[in-house]
Chain A
């Protein structure tokens, strides 16, 4: 247990070190913790191999059914909100891949409410390792790969079908969009988990932004009320996950009077989201009062 030899105060609530050096140390330590806890849960899942295979398959299929709905819709119509099937597949694939990545890494966070309720959250605080990493890796479920794989497959399909004039900038924008999108979703998940310190039962509110956002971003922005579109640009910045950069890649104008340069703003928005989420998490952790059970 290498963590036991860390200087006192390195773990515990909140990051210990201030400044960049401390931040890097905390990040490295978080990653180590995360890997260790995740590996433990993977080993435990593998005890029931057939059950794991079934859950992996069903995780893939659940997400696939989402896409079947779109296929069924396009069986009835030629375009949805003025977007072709290939374009919708591209939107679906980018949103699905980003969300799949975030869900794979952070998908355990909503469980935290239950742990705060029953008091088992306290054990995380006692261990000399970053709390967020422990909670995020708690019951790490490898089956969530199914969702990610499905998103990537649809993305590839969409890219094959799309007939675009690619520029280096557009090519670069795709991976940047996927990673920034994953970070924005992850930040929302951490933000939601922070709220659980005060409201342990409110985990579902987060899923309306994460799962709900994912569903919304699979469809073209043209079909939604423009106020709603403005809401996911300026209030909850989900539009930066894929809509704004994707519309640029597809050669379409930005929606709802949003300026065109926002197509490149996703990494910046992701950084701001992560900073806000980190602040919320530390505030929540400081405010945490154990139930004592």
Chain B
């Protein structure tokens, strides 16, 4: 446990060294937040109450999305490239000899990364958006806490998805194709482009059941206080189920992969 705490702290510190990148990221998220906000305003002007969101809800959704892009890995988990590279070059053999579990190691490192991204890139866009646009803010202070829990669960689901993607590199060597496909799924089904409750008919129903819904749609709805009491627990359970399922799948893939690793020496 001490080991993994240290790994998580390392993950936090490592990303904290890239301050210029963080500032650049906040800038980019803010620019996109502006562009998206205006398109949403045009849309909700024409169709008030679309998807059950008032204008302020829709705008809050935009800025939550910009804040969570890196935290919940909507466009890439932020660690899979490195892991795939280690698998491709064979460095992974060294990792496997360490007295630590591979998945837990990367989980801890990613948790540190998420914590940093939440502080560095998550809060600023939401704050800037609230300065310029009339966002819905939670009416109860503990909603923020409930939101934080949902974000944490969302980032765990994100880790589980991207870990599973990275494991595919054991078989495919070049993982870029699978990464792109996963990226595609994340982009569309996380609801980053348009809230999932605006997706029409069965496309919307399916989208709201997929794991990517845990990364933005569920946290945003928790923030917007659309879940109460048992409903809130249900939302958490939805996220936790996907997390457990995908983490288990990642573990199974890891076990199958490590059985076939052949160290080439050198």
Residues of A195-228 contacting chain B, CB below 8 A: 199-205, 207-209, 212, 215-216, 219, 223-225, 228
Asked if B32 lies at the interface with its beta carbon under 8 angstroms from chain A, I say yes
- Residues of A that sit less than 8 Å from B by CB: 48, 50-55, 58-59, 61-62, 65-66, 68-69, 72-73, 75-81, 199-205, 207-209, 212, 215-216, 219, 223-225, 228
CA distance in complex: A100, B23 (Å) = 27
Chain A residues within an 8 Å CB radius of B187? 62, 65
Residues of B214-229 contacting chain A, CB below 8 A: none
Dominant SS among interface residues on chain A: helix
A61 nearest CB neighbor, chain B only: B184
CB distance from B190 to the nearest CB of A (A): 11
Please judge, given known A-B contacts A76-B46, A203-B24, A224-B38, whether A51 and B177 are in contact too, CB under 8 Å.
Answer: yes
Q: List 5 A-B contacts (CB under 8 A).
A: A48-B174, A66-B193, A80-B46, A81-B42, A205-B27
CA distance in complex: A203, B193 (Å) = 22
Chain A residues within an 8 Å CB radius of B19? 201
Checking A199, A207, A224 against B28 with a beta-carbon cut-off of 8 angstroms, the contacting residue is: A207
Contact B43 A212 (CB under 8 A): no
CA distance in complex: A62, B188 (Å) = 8
Contact A77 B47 (CB under 8 A): yes
Chain A residues within an 8 Å CB radius of B32? 208, 212, 215
Q: Which 8 A-B pairs have the closest CB atoms?
A: A54-B177, A58-B180, A201-B21, A223-B42, A77-B46, A208-B31, A201-B20, A208-B28
Asked if B143 lies at the interface with its beta carbon under 8 angstroms from chain A, I say no
Asked if B200 lies at the interface with its beta carbon under 8 angstroms from chain A, I say yes
User: Most A CB atoms within 10 A — which of B23, B31, B183, B198?
Assistant: B31
Please judge, given known A-B contacts A76-B43, A77-B43, A80-B46, whether A204 and B184 are in contact too, CB under 8 Å.
Answer: no
Please judge, given known A-B contacts A69-B193, A76-B46, A216-B35, whether A204 and B188 are in contact too, CB under 8 Å.
Answer: no
Contact B184 A62 (CB under 8 A): yes
Chain B residues within an 8 Å CB radius of A205? 24, 27-28
Asked if B181 lies at the interface with its beta carbon under 8 angstroms from chain A, I say yes
Chain B residues within an 8 Å CB radius of A212? 28, 31-32, 35
